[in-house]
Structure 1
C-alpha cells in the first residue's frame, strides 16, 4: 500500500518537485494540527491570534504597547488594534494611557485573562503531547531546526 501525501490525497501523478511535495505536506500538516488547537480555543471563545496575544502578555509579565505585542505574534496581524479591542471587550486585557505621553497606550492582562490562560494550559499541553506522541525528542529537535531553516531560506531569498 502506497503511503505519503500523494496517497493520502489521491494524487495520481507525481508532484512537480520534492520542494512542492514538502510544501504541500507542511500545509496539510499545519491545517490538521492547527484545527485541533482552534477547536480547543473556541471552547473558551478565543481565536488563535487572541490566545497568542494573551500568552505574550503573560510571558512578558508587565504591560506592553500594542506594537510590541504585534512584533512577537507567531502569525502576522494586520489589525492588532482590533484584536486588542476584542480582548478588552471580553475583559481579558485592559488598556491604560501613559501619564507621560498620551499617545502611548499600555496593554495588560487582567485577572480574567490570566484565569482563561490557566484553564487552557493543561489541555493545550496535553493536545501537543498527543499530536507529537510518535516523535522522539531528537526527532522533534530536528523537525524544529528544519522548519526554522526553511523560514531562514525564504527570508534570505526575499531580501536579495
Structure 2
C-alpha cells in the first residue's frame, strides 16, 4: 500500500506549484517529524539536539577541539556556539582548556560524565533510527543519501 502523499497529508486542495516546491516541503515536513522524535528522546537524557551534536563530535574526534571547529561540524548551524558550550560546561559535560601557544584559542574537551550519557543514548538512538527509516531497503537508503547530498550541492555552491 502506498502511503498518502504530502498533498493528502496536509489536506491541500490544489496541487503544488511545482515538483521542486513539493520536494522541498516534503524534506521540511520529514525533517520536522524526525527532529521532534529525536528531540523527545534526547530530552530524556537532559540534552537538546545541538548539545548532543557537540558531544557526538567531541567523542568522535577523541580529543579536544577549538570551539570554532566544533561550530563548523554541527549538523544544524548554531549562532551562539559559546552559549551552547557554556550550558554544557554548567552540566559538567565538557571542559574548556586554553591553548598554551595562542591564548585566544579555547579547546573544548568531553568529560567522562558526558561519555557515560552518550553510551546510554547509543542503543535507544539506533533503535529510533531503525524505527524511523528501517522500512527502507539498503538500496533505497543509499539512493536517499545520494539524492540529499546532491540536493545540498545547490546550497553549498551558492556559499562559495
1:155 aligns with 2:156: yes
DSSP-derived class of the 2:97 partner: strand
Is 1:31 the counterpart of 2:23 in the alignment? no
Aligned length: 159
- 3-state SS in 2 of match to 1:107: strand
Corresponding residue number in structure 2 for 1:114: 115
Q: Secondary structure at the match of 1:134?
A: coil
Distance in 2 (CA, whole Å) between partners of 1:2 and 1:89 is 45
Other-structure match for 2:9: 8
In structure 2, how many angstroms separate the alpha carbons of the residues matched to 1:76 and 1:61?
22
Task: Kindly report the root-mean-square deviation, in angstroms, between the aligned alpha carbons of the 2 structures.
Answer: 1.5
Mapped partners of 1:71, 1:154: distance in 2? 16
> Which ranges of structure 2 fall in alignment gaps of 5 or more residues?
none
Please name the residue that 1:63 is paired with: 64
* CA shift for structure 1 position 96: 1.2
Dislocated runs of 4+, deviation >3 Å? none
Q: Given the two structures, how large is their TM-score scaled by the length of structure 2?
A: 0.95
User: Whole-Å Cα distance in 1 between the matches of residues 77 and 134 of structure 2?
Assistant: 29
The residue that corresponds to 1:75 in the other structure is: 76
Question: 1:16 & 1:44 partners in 2: Cα distance?
Answer: 42
Counterpart in the other structure of 2:145: 144
Aligned to 1:21: 22
1:44 aligns with 2:45: yes
Residue 136 of structure 1: how far off its partner (Å): 0.1
Q: CA deviation at 1:2?
A: 8.8
Secondary structure at the aligned position of 1:23 is classed as helix
Q: Give the 3-state SS of the residue equivalent to 2:4 in structure 1.
A: coil
Deviation at residue 34 of structure 1 after TM alignment: 1.1
